[in-house]
Chain A
Amino acid sequence: MTNHYIDLKNSDVILIMGSNAAEHHPIAFKWILRAKEQNGARLIHVDPRYTRTSARCDYHVPLRSGTDIAFLGGMINYILENNKYFKDYVLNYTNASFIVGKDFYFKDGLFSGYNPAKRKYSKDTWVLEKDGRGIPKRDMTLSNPRCVFQMLKKHFSRYTLDKVSSITGVSKEDLTKVYAEYSATGVKDKAGTECYALGWTHHTTGSQIIRTMAIIQLLLGNMGIAGGGVNALRGEPNVQGSTDHCILYGNLPGYLKMPVASLDTLEKYLKKCTPVSNDPQSANYYQNYPKFFVSFLKSMFGDKATKENGFGYSWLPKMDDGAAYSLMHLFEKMYEGRVKGLFAVGTDPAVSSPNTAKVRKALEKLDWLVGENIFDNETYCFWKGPGVDPKQVKTEVFLLPASASMEKEGSQSNSGRWVQWKYKAADAPGDAIPVGEITIKIMQAVKELYAKEGGVQPAPILNLKWDYTDAKGRFDVLKVSKQINGHFLKDTVIEDKDKKTRTEFKKGQLVPTFGMLHADGSTSGGNWIMAGSFSATGENKMTRRGKDDPTGLGLYPNWSYAWPVNRRIIYNRASCDIHGKPYNPKRKLLEWTGDKWVGDVPDGPWPPMADRAKGKYPFIMKQDGLGALFGPGMTEGPFPEHYEPLEGPLAKNPLSSQLINPAVEIFKNDMNKVASADEKFPYVCTTYSCTEHWCSGALTRWQLWLLEMQPELYVEIGDKLAQEKGIRNGEKVKVQSARGEVECVAMVTKRFRPFTIEGKTVHQVGLPFNYGWLFPKDGGDSTNFLTPTVGDANTFCPEYKAFMVNVKKA
């Protein structure tokens, strides 16, 4: 989240799209309801299905799965055509005025630089024109046809109400209603926010859906303000924490980039990863990248990391250039027999990964599988699953009992980036220990083996610092946390010339903020964004529980620690005009008092940008310091474009000749069948969780109170379709896709309504993905037998939310 959960209460219009917030964030949802109660906020739910969220919103707008960009693109068009954008903000705080390079173009669904054979773009033409000093050229009148604003306007002018309605299945009246209400927040004293979740990320176009919304928020001046932002409601309990600490294959801790093979030296790597800006007003905060990265290397390899050996850069594993290592790739390679062993820690991919049949087949090709979990699950006992002969499976399986989150101490991060310390509430049963401890123990054994036997490439293992045990050899979670925070590795004096302060730190003291990290090896920091989670004297700020709220906006600055530097709303300088005066005095998030910022922790101490000498632009993490309407960082283009899901009801994209996202990777083998616009699979299908279970249900299905409420797999079918098919409520049906089928109970409902798409009636159905064969025995198996192996072009998040099925009586 750019903002945080409590901040939702400050909003005037809340668009919930790509999220079923009431069902999956039932606690956070109270802040959404509070916005309604206290500000009279409008709550709008856009979702294929009428859910418990819809029931609490002012109204629900059904849209066909996978057409969010069309819907939001229509909103951009509406905002620009009707001059609903916040002009002051757009002009000063976004790159609307920048001039796009001459060679950039967009034509019939494709941007310049596309290579159809590789299904990849060269981004060489996705650039901005720069002046002699290397600073982007700007047209402050926004009239240059090559300026970002005009290019954006032109791009989305194709998203007319008629077109959008025909693609999404949303009536023109509903479209206009949502567009008008939401774009009414494009003024100084109104805030609009968007809440999304897996309903957006689980698409081949997921990242671009979020981008589209970010563009809307920039146009309306809703970024960096109280009650604004683009807010990912992340799953419980620690998805934010795990991404912060690099659960994604392309990341190192703190969203640093995983090195690739061609960047074989530290210099090359840092040059590639450190952005340069010639604009003195752009803070370009990532210019500090080397400080963060070298400190990370120092925390990994300690004294072994020296200037001479590139701080041990060569010991980090490197990815092959252009290769991806997502979950889907992992199982693809496993199915090809190229992966020999798997640690499946706290996960149940035999239920949760797309194309379950393939995943379960792939597991049979492993030599060994190690599970770490609090319960057995369908992955760990795949060898005795339905249709598997245990005698034919060679895989050796180990299941290590792990303690549950309440049985261990540590930090947990919520979507608002609050890192909250929690204590152990109960002892784990039996031999169960925290997975952190399991990891340390295994690594110690591996180290000993390398020390004894040598082996290929022993240096990365032997030089690993990893001194995370206490004097008695026990796993010490505080030590890990402090290592993450970082230390001064020698006596250091930090001088601040502006404030005329001089602070001395002793070797071994904790680094109080990432601004004090160094690239010369004199500091360590396991995860730079967490530098400051401890004070220099050792106070664990994550344990703080202060309830004071000086701004009255619910920032609670003394409750836990929020990265970065306890900033509660990021890009908060954008809540003020260029002179530092709040746009909305009633929700004063930050104010420049002439010598300092008062309110939230500002995005940097510099004066507001009207001060041409010292002032900085508000979007300090962007190279150019401004919000990116033109975003060349994305894989499939600087502007979002609607493409159909991999499997959809249409044979042709109504907007262009490109049916699906041109940049997605197509997985090709005998088990990756696809049936798009195929009359055998005529219904759009989506999958989701239910309130009562969590993810694959591997943890919650064993909880009988929860199972009592949601006992088995069901498919929600609109009453019109059910009538057509002669399916009665509560009877058993089969749902089939090109890849597999599941048997489940039909839940006939008015909450799914047919769509009219390109003049034809299209039905949609949906299933939860919380069930597996292991327990309960009669509760149904994985919904992912139906889903295709394909993912977002940027993140490889699988497309669980839109594919095609058939439904028939069992």
Chain B
Amino acid sequence: MKAEIVKLIDTTKCTACRGCQVACKQWNEMPAMRTRNRGSYQNPPDLQWNTWTLIRFQEYVDDKGAFKWLFRKDGCMHCTDAACVKVCPSGALHYSEYGTVGLKSSLCIGCKECASACPFDVPKYSHADDKIFKCDLCLSRIRTNQSPACVKSCPTGALTIGPKDKMLKKAYARAKELGGDANVYGDKFVGGTHVIYVLSEKPEVYEELPKNPAVPASIVLWKDILKPFSLLVAGGTIAGAFLHYITHGPKLPDENGHDAEGKGE
């Protein structure tokens, strides 16, 4: 385990140029899709198997009537307590030595459990590949001391990456400097994410951004309770049957019992 790293997305410096969106595709060799304009700059409409990071455009009028155009770079948050890793049956999704969530594509079996488990709706499934895809924070680049493609492409400094404590400090300093509703998003849930935001508005203002993300209760129930319990029950059943057999014995037809009717047939 190396020192944890954190990518900081300062939405207040983002110009939505989408350099990151393209750089991500270029580095990861992801193809484009033929899209349509649906009345928004945001395109593709959502994260896709071939779009691991997406700038979301949102027109917003605040409670004072001021118009704002919010840009948010969406993508994997790299949770410390990652629901996707929790549910992944094959080990394809795993914690990297930097604390981020890596994806070994060769191990992925396309079960899509992560896709529904993720509180941020990040992993996306490709039918053609029968695999899940998502951002791995350019692990291959980080391991060679290069910043992720998105960070590298960012012209304004909205994206930066570094040691966790340093980035958190930077994020809080920035939020304080901005004042108002500005806040830091990411360090206080799912064990702390390795991608954190400085948001200019309250988290609930942003589309597709959960206010209090957590590993879903259903996932906890499934993985932490039902899973061990089912083993217990399965084992118990087998053991019970065995016990029954040796203590009670099989239930035999009374060939020589009280019942005479059975005889002589």
- Direct interface between A and B, CB < 8 A: yes
Interfacial residues, chain A to chain B (CB-CB below 8 A)? 22-23, 26-27, 29-30, 33, 50, 52-56, 690-692, 704-714, 729-731, 745-751, 776
CB neighbours (8 Å) of A731 from chain B are 39
The docked-state distance in angstroms from the alpha carbon of A707 to that of B155 is: 21
B contacts with A, residue count (CB < 8 A): 33
Q: Is the CB of A707 within 8 A of B32?
A: yes
Could you give, for residues 21-39 of chain B, a 1 whenever the CB lies within 8 Å of some chain A CB and a 0 otherwise? 1100110000111111111
The docked-state distance in angstroms from the alpha carbon of A23 to that of B22 is: 15
Q: Is the CB of B155 within 8 A of A691?
A: no
Q: Is the CB of A55 within 8 A of B37?
A: no
Q: Is the CB of B15 within 8 A of A26?
A: yes
The docked-state distance in angstroms from the alpha carbon of A691 to that of B38 is: 18
What are 14 A-B pairs at a CB distance below 8 A?
A: A26-B17, A26-B156, A30-B156, A54-B69, A55-B68, A56-B13, A708-B32, A708-B44, A709-B41, A714-B39, A745-B38, A747-B39, A747-B40, A748-B39
CB neighbours (8 Å) of B91 from chain A are none
Minimal Cβ-Cβ distance residue in B for A704: B32
CB neighbours (8 Å) of A749 from chain B are 59
The docked-state distance in angstroms from the alpha carbon of A704 to that of B70 is: 26
CB neighbours (8 Å) of A750 from chain B are 59, 61, 67
The docked-state distance in angstroms from the alpha carbon of A457 to that of B13 is: 60
Q: Is the CB of B39 within 8 A of A33?
A: no
Minimal Cβ-Cβ distance residue in B for A32: B156
CB neighbours (8 Å) of B49 from chain A are none
Main secondary structure, interface of A, reads: mixed
Q: Is the CB of A712 within 8 A of B37?
A: yes
The docked-state distance in angstroms from the alpha carbon of A52 to that of B18 is: 11
Q: Is the CB of B43 within 8 A of A33?
A: no
Q: Please pick, from A56, A704, A711, A751, the residue contacting B37 in the complex, using a CB distance under 8 A.
A: A711
The docked-state distance in angstroms from the alpha carbon of A277 to that of B79 is: 72
Q: Is the CB of B43 within 8 A of A710?
A: yes
Q: Does residue B19 face the partner (Cβ distance < 8 Å to A)?
A: yes
CB neighbours (8 Å) of A23 from chain B are 15, 17
Minimal Cβ-Cβ distance residue in A for B25: A705
Q: Is the CB of B61 within 8 A of A708?
A: no
Minimal Cβ-Cβ distance residue in A for B43: A709
Q: Is the CB of A708 within 8 A of B39?
A: no
Q: Does residue B157 face the partner (Cβ distance < 8 Å to A)?
A: yes
CB neighbours (8 Å) of B15 from chain A are 22-23, 26, 29, 52-53, 55-56
CB neighbours (8 Å) of B34 from chain A are 707-708, 711, 776
Q: Please pick, from A55, A707, A711, the residue contacting B69 in the complex, using a CB distance under 8 A.
A: A55
Given A22-B17, A52-B17, A711-B35, are A33 and B156 also a contact pair (CB < 8 Å)?
A: yes
Given A711-B35, A751-B59, are A30 and B69 also a contact pair (CB < 8 Å)?
A: no
Q: Does residue B184 face the partner (Cβ distance < 8 Å to A)?
A: no
CB neighbours (8 Å) of A714 from chain B are 37, 39
Q: Is the CB of B32 within 8 A of A751?
A: no
Q: Does residue B52 face the partner (Cβ distance < 8 Å to A)?
A: no
Q: Is the CB of B37 within 8 A of A730?
A: yes
The docked-state distance in angstroms from the alpha carbon of A749 to that of B21 is: 23
Q: Does residue B185 face the partner (Cβ distance < 8 Å to A)?
A: no
Q: Is the CB of A50 within 8 A of B22?
A: no
Q: Does residue B71 face the partner (Cβ distance < 8 Å to A)?
A: yes
A744 to chain B, nearest CB (A): 8
Q: Please pick, from A33, A705, A745, the residue contacting B157 in the complex, using a CB distance under 8 A.
A: A33
The docked-state distance in angstroms from the alpha carbon of A27 to that of B152 is: 12
Q: Is the CB of A708 within 8 A of B35?
A: yes
Q: Is the CB of B155 within 8 A of A692?
A: no
Minimal Cβ-Cβ distance residue in A for B67: A750
CB neighbours (8 Å) of A751 from chain B are 59, 67, 69
CB neighbours (8 Å) of A705 from chain B are 22, 25-26, 32
Q: Please pick, from B59, B71, B155, the residue contacting A30 in the complex, using a CB distance under 8 A.
A: B155
CB neighbours (8 Å) of B32 from chain A are 704-705, 707-708
A712 to chain B, nearest CB (A): 5
Minimal Cβ-Cβ distance residue in B for A36: B13
Q: Does residue B16 face the partner (Cβ distance < 8 Å to A)?
A: yes
A144 to chain B, nearest CB (A): 48
The docked-state distance in angstroms from the alpha carbon of A611 to that of B153 is: 51
Q: Is the CB of A730 within 8 A of B39?
A: yes
The docked-state distance in angstroms from the alpha carbon of A751 to that of B68 is: 9
Q: Is the CB of B155 within 8 A of A29?
A: yes
CB neighbours (8 Å) of A50 from chain B are 67, 69
The docked-state distance in angstroms from the alpha carbon of A23 to that of B18 is: 10
CB neighbours (8 Å) of B18 from chain A are 691-692, 709
Minimal Cβ-Cβ distance residue in A for B55: A709
Q: Please pick, from B13, B43, B67, B70, the residue contacting A708 in the complex, using a CB distance under 8 A.
A: B43
Minimal Cβ-Cβ distance residue in B for A26: B17
Q: Please pick, from A33, A55, A745, the residue contacting B16 in the complex, using a CB distance under 8 A.
A: A55
Q: Is the CB of A709 within 8 A of B21?
A: yes
Q: Is the CB of B43 within 8 A of A52?
A: no
Q: Please pick, from B22, B40, B71, the residue contacting A706 in the complex, using a CB distance under 8 A.
A: B22
Minimal Cβ-Cβ distance residue in A for B44: A708
Q: Is the CB of B19 within 8 A of A26?
A: yes
Minimal Cβ-Cβ distance residue in A for B42: A709
Q: Is the CB of B155 within 8 A of A27?
A: yes
